Amino acid sequence: MSVDPVTFARDLLRCPSVTPHEGGALALIEKVLAGAGFSVHRVTFSEPGADDVENLYARIGTTGPHLVLAGHTDVVPPGDETRWRHSPFAGDIADGVLFGRGAVDMKGAIACKLAAALDHLAANGGKPNGSISFLITGDEEGIAVNGTVKLLRWAAARGEKFDHCILGEPTNPRALGDMVKIGRRGSLNGTLIVPGTQGHVAYPALADNPVRRIVAVMAAVMAEPLDAGSDHFDPSNLEFTSVDVGNKTVNVIPAEARARFNIRFNDRHTQASLKALIEARAAAAARGGRFRIEWEPSNADVFLTKPGAFVDLVSAAIAEVTGRKPALSTSGGTSDARFIKDYCPVVEFGLVNDTMHKIDERVAMRDLAALTAIYRRILDRYFA
């Protein structure tokens, strides 16, 4: 049994699986994997206030080593469909390029993983020398509460143990083989709140303008780098994203000022150390004045899959197919790898990311063939 990665990617692109809708995508995957001998589970998760989301877990083999191929079939909305050269859910091919929402992020990579796994199994009597699993969520592009995080917990409760994972996010900036992600920065959101005393703008002595103090505190928080970076990470960074007093008048000193910020942090920090650092800087600048910081709960901690045998195996497979030695990077936003890393080492490698989430998202057919060859080599080496 085999599937053609281009045909299967095309079939997946024709499923309108904008988060939280399954759109038929998981059903297609289920059919193929079940046909190849995987035991397939479709699992729906719920959360008060959020949409139910369907997920899929499939495994073949009963022993170790256990390699998990992870991904998501949900996609971001297409935006203005009239601006697409080819309809975002038509799966059109033109000049060797497959168009559609999810082409690179990341239905294309899922098709490649499926094709590679089936080829590997067919070449090895239908059974892996260990276990292969597919962990596919429908809740990655949304709020990600009914997806990978719960699917991993569900699998662990069934006694599933994973040795390594490859997540198929599009990791290459320009060409296949550019970049493997071996970790991700953490992300933390906070709001700085400075209370004041409201009053007439012509009588500032009778008021206490919080804008003066919030400006000083913000400047102090931003004045120095948070760290100098580390072996595998850029320096941590804080960006203010909004500054508000909500004041619609011209003659009232406001009662309160707020500034929201996000921090992307590396492995020199934890959430606790960052909070302590920012609060210390703010306190010094506030000089006894009132302020507080409200921190949002974050499930995006920094992590690093240390370079070693598994990373080397993946890099070698990429180099053999593309002729390029991929950079080992921790750049970019967060991904579901932040949840997977609590269960097993995870690296991310997929297609070229220059059109992800954009109008005319697309993938070259030759990249689908090459990525399938890379995944196939990874499987062959892993289960050698």
Residues forming contacts to Zn ion in the complex (CB under 5 A) are 105-106, 169
Q: Which of 183, 182, 179, 166 is nearest to 327 (CA)?
A: 179
Cis omega (within 30 of 0) on the bond before 77? no
* C-beta nearest to Zn ion: residue: 105
Residue with tokens 């070698």: 316
Exactly one of 11, 22, 54, 74 is catalytic; which is it? 74
Q: What angle do CA 52, 55, 60 make, to 5 degrees?
A: 160
* CB of 112 vs Zn ion, minimal distance in Å: 14
Residue 102 or 345 having the CB closest to Zn ion = 102
* CB of 76 vs Zn ion, minimal distance in Å: 9
**74 included as an active-site residue:** yes
Phi first, then psi, for residue 140 (nearest 5°) are -110, -40
Helices (H), the chain: 5-13, 25-35, 108-123, 148-157, 210-223, 271-286, 309-322, 337-340, 365-382
Residue 73 or 266 having the CB closest to Zn ion = 73
Residue 74 or 227 having the CB closest to Zn ion = 74
Exactly one of 30, 54, 119, 140 is catalytic; which is it? 140
Residue 105 or 208 having the CB closest to Zn ion = 105
- Helix/strand/coil percentages in the chain, nearest 5: 30, 25, 40
* CB of 351 vs Zn ion, minimal distance in Å: 10
Both structure tokens of 319: 């180099």
* CB of 109 vs Zn ion, minimal distance in Å: 9
**178 included as an active-site residue:** no
Q: What is the DSSP letter of 85?
A: S
* CB of 74 vs Zn ion, minimal distance in Å: 9
- Per the document, the length of the chain is 384
Pairing of β 346-348 and β 164-167: parallel
- Are 310 and 345 spatial neighbours (Cβ–Cβ below 8 Å)? yes
Residue 136 or 278 having the CB closest to Zn ion = 136
CA distance 55 to 150: 9
Q: What is the DSSP string of 250-306?
A: SSEE-SEEEEEEEEEE-TT--HHHHHHHHHHHHHHHHTT---EEEEPP-----EE--
Residue 132 or 144 having the CB closest to Zn ion = 144
Pairing of β 252-253 and β 183-184: unpaired
Residue 59 or 181 having the CB closest to Zn ion = 181
Both structure tokens of 114: 């499926």
* CB of 260 vs Zn ion, minimal distance in Å: 25
* CB of 338 vs Zn ion, minimal distance in Å: 13
Residue with tokens 């959430």: 271
* CB of 288 vs Zn ion, minimal distance in Å: 47
Helix 365-382 × helix 108-123 angle, to 10°:
40
Q: What angle do CA 151, 157, 159 make, to 5 degrees?
A: 110
Residue 105 or 267 having the CB closest to Zn ion = 105
Residues contacting residue 175 through CB under 8 Å, at least 6 positions apart? 322, 324, 352
Residue numbers annotated as active site: 74, 140
